[in-house]
Amino acid sequence: MTTSRSLLLTHGSGGGIESNYGPIKGALASGGRRVVGFDLPGTGGAPRATEPLELDALADGLVADADAAGVERFAVSGYSLGTAVAIRTATRHPERVTGLVLTAPFAYADHALRQASLLWRDLADSGQHELVARLLVPLVFSPAMLDPMTPEVVEGVVRLTGESIPEGTPEHADLVARADVREDLARVGVPTLVISTTEDRLVAPALHRSVAAGIPGARLTELATGHAPFAENPAVWGKLITEFLSEVEQA
């Protein structure tokens, strides 16, 4: 089994490995690093869940994907909901995880995130994908990205967003509203980088900072994007991740 320079990816609610990490997968694999993506149920070819998602099962599923890929020990890069999966993996399988990179993380949903997620869940579950997109576009993208767009361009972004919503989105959004890894934070025992997307209007930067403060020795860095760094500044996002991973691997 592969024991070094391996990275597992876990994505956000209503996304997928290709949509969230596609723009930086090449950079993450630089220097021969092995990169394995873990798609949540109902996206990326993974079958949709028939019952509510649970973090323990998702953490075990991530490790099972590592086993299937022949990867023994690995760092985990989680984005948004994927950060809760990554944190739970580090505490549930500490012998397997060598480091964490957490982008736009939350340890629990505050009132704003919870209410947005419940609406997101219900709209997606009823098939109202255009309304899901109208909810998410102004929350996910920063004003610096949206404001220069014409109304016609924004409508195009809404249309493309609505067309790309995976079938497992209701279960993903439901888990965002329920997930709570606050008690896990102090038990994370590996080098951790928290990337705070400072213009984030979906997962507030205060939630990012709280995660960093709760993990012993965690490093906090800022990225001036909204909730979608893969769309707004993938080059810098990828550089932050790879530079940190190189430090961890060399150590």
Residue 213, in any domain of the structure: yes
Q: Is 227 a catalytic residue?
A: yes
Domain for residue 18, yes or no?
A: yes
Nearest to 81 by CA among 61, 98, 58: 58
Phi, psi at 127, each rounded to 5° = 80, 10
The pLDDT, as a whole number, for residue 9 is 98
Is residue 195 within 8 Å of residue 221, measured between CB atoms? yes
pLDDT of residue 3: 53
Marked catalytic residue, from 196, 200, 208, 210: 200
> Any catalytic annotation for residue 80?
yes
Residue 17 structural domain: 6-107+183-250
Domain assignment present for 140:
no
Model pTM score: 0.96
Backbone angles phi, psi at 36, to 5 degrees: -125, 125
Write down the H helix ranges in the chain: 17-21, 25-28, 55-68, 81-92, 111-125, 129-140, 143-146, 151-163, 169-178, 205-214, 229-232, 234-250
Task: Select which of 11, 172, 208, 227 is catalytic.
Answer: 227
pLDDT of residue 31: 86
Per-residue pLDDT of the chain (251 residues; tens, 9 = 90+): 555 699 999 999 999 999 999 999 999 998 899 999 999 999 998 999 999 999 999 999 999 999 999 999 999 999 999 999 999 999 999 999 999 999 999 999 999 999 999 999 999 999 999 999 999 999 999 999 999 999 999 999 999 999 999 999 999 999 999 999 999 999 999 999 999 999 999 999 999 999 999 999 999 999 999 999 999 999 999 999 999 999 999 88
Catalytic residue of the set 19, 77, 80, 210: 80
Work out whether strand 74-79 and strand 97-103 pair parallel, antiparallel, or are unpaired: parallel
In a domain, 195, yes or no: yes
Provide the CATH number for the domain around residue 195.
3.40.50.1820
Per the structure, the count of domains in the chain is 1
Judge whether 6 and 34 are in contact, CB under 8 Å: yes
Residues 6 or more apart whose Cβ sits within 8 Å of residue 70:
1, 2
The answer to whether 135 and 180 are in contact (CB under 8 A) is: no
* Residue 162 covered by a domain: no
Given this model, what pLDDT does residue 193 score? 98
Q: Is 208 a catalytic residue?
A: no
**Does any domain span residue 78?**
yes
- Asked if residue 29 is part of any domain, the answer here is yes
Confirm whether 164 is domain-assigned: no
